[in-house]
Amino acid sequence: MEPFYNERRFSYIAGEAEQGMAVGQFLKERGYSRHALILLKQTEGGILCNGREVYLSQPLRKGDRMDLFLKEEVPEEIEPVELPFGIVYEDDDLMVVDKPADMPVHPSMKNHDNTLANAAAWYGRTKGDSFVYRCVNRLDRDTTGLLILAKHILSATGLYGQMRAREIRRTYLAIVKGMIREEGTIDLPVGRKEDSAIERMIDLEHGERAVTHYRPVRHGKDWTLIECRLETGRTHQIRVHMSSFGHPLIGDFLYGSREEQMPRQALHSWKLSFVHPIMGRPMEFVSPLPPDMQKYIGDRS
């Protein structure tokens, strides 16, 4: 089978401030990682200055035109499988998708062909627009809502940088047990629970700092719909924090609130805000509350 490639071209003009700057430094300042530079150097026509191939050490002059050709081979280990998922936004650099429940984000030994990666691979192949699968913000298998997929190494580098700098704002909606009347912040470290590969816990001694801001949105007799904004992105952060606060998520069997009417944790990635890694403009997306969470609230209002 012929390999699939993802290709993207970029052009830049060196300004007065770049006079004498090395090509490699010029590209690093525009978000090209070390790995991206290696990929460019290995690609025929990957780095052109005024139409000619150049070394990264070559100095630039004002007005020089840089043309970059990113060509990434798409690995075949992710099997394309036709699975439903929502596409909220797409361009040549990224996708914002709406993940359904019961869909892991990445393949694993027990989840080989039922993941978002499989679904994205199928979508790309059918469009003739395959790309290396890079999921920027992750969600648990049964958490629904918004995720960002970077479509090439340059957009991935920019988005991962925003994640590290906590510049991607992630807001969730959750239904928790009991009544919460006031907004607040939980600032408690989260760590792995001993003897468990999955479960997390509040760990004041060894855990990593985790900060969740929450506010009530709607109340029922024995539940509250809350909005949660994350400063950090620890595994199971909202689930662990709300359980430690005495308000576990409805349906979260792992942290103390099993319910037949909600067979998964009632958690939804509702809003994402970030800066487009290539175009530099602010982006914001919202995903409506999914039907199962709407039904739970509706049946108990």
Measured CA to CA, the distance from residue 191 to residue 240 in angstroms comes to 10
| Containing structural domain, residue 32 | 4-74
CATH number of the domain that residue 216 is part of = 3.30.2350.10
Residue 87 forms part of a structural domain? no
Residue 10 forms part of a structural domain? yes
Give ∠ CA 275-10-146 in degrees, rounded to 5: 30
Measured CA to CA, the distance from residue 64 to residue 27 in angstroms comes to 13
| Res 128: pLDDT | 81
| Res 117: pLDDT | 95
User: Which one-letter DSSP state was computed for residue 208?
Assistant: B
Residue 291 forms part of a structural domain? no
pLDDT in tens, 136-168: 998 999 999 999 999 999 999 999 999 999 999
Which is nearest to 200 in space by CA: 125, 140, 285?
140
Band (pLDDT 50/70/90 cuts) for residue 127 is confident
Measured CA to CA, the distance from residue 264 to residue 140 in angstroms comes to 11
pLDDT in tens, 241-256: 999 999 999 999 999 8
| Res 299: pLDDT | 80
Average of per-residue pLDDT across 12-20: 95
Residue 102 makes CB contacts below 8 A (sequence gap 6+) with 141, 142, 264
Which is nearest to 139 in space by CA: 101, 174, 93?
101
Number of domains observed in the structure of the chain: 2
Q: What is the mean pLDDT of the chain?
A: 93
Looking at 64, 93, 98, 140, which residue is catalytic?
140
| Res 155: pLDDT | 96
Average of per-residue pLDDT across 97-104: 96
| Res 75: pLDDT | 82
Residue 210 forms part of a structural domain? yes
Which is nearest to 210 in space by CA: 235, 184, 175?
235
Residue 132 forms part of a structural domain? no
Residue 117 forms part of a structural domain? no
Residue 159 forms part of a structural domain? no
Average of per-residue pLDDT across 269-274: 97
SS3 state of residue 211: strand
pLDDT in tens, 29-62: 999 999 999 999 999 999 999 999 999 999 999 9
Band (pLDDT 50/70/90 cuts) for residue 191 is very high
Measured CA to CA, the distance from residue 107 to residue 135 in angstroms comes to 12
Which is nearest to 66 in space by CA: 55, 77, 78?
55
Residue 1 has pLDDT above 70, yes or no: no
Residue 119 forms part of a structural domain? no
140 is known as an active-site residue: yes
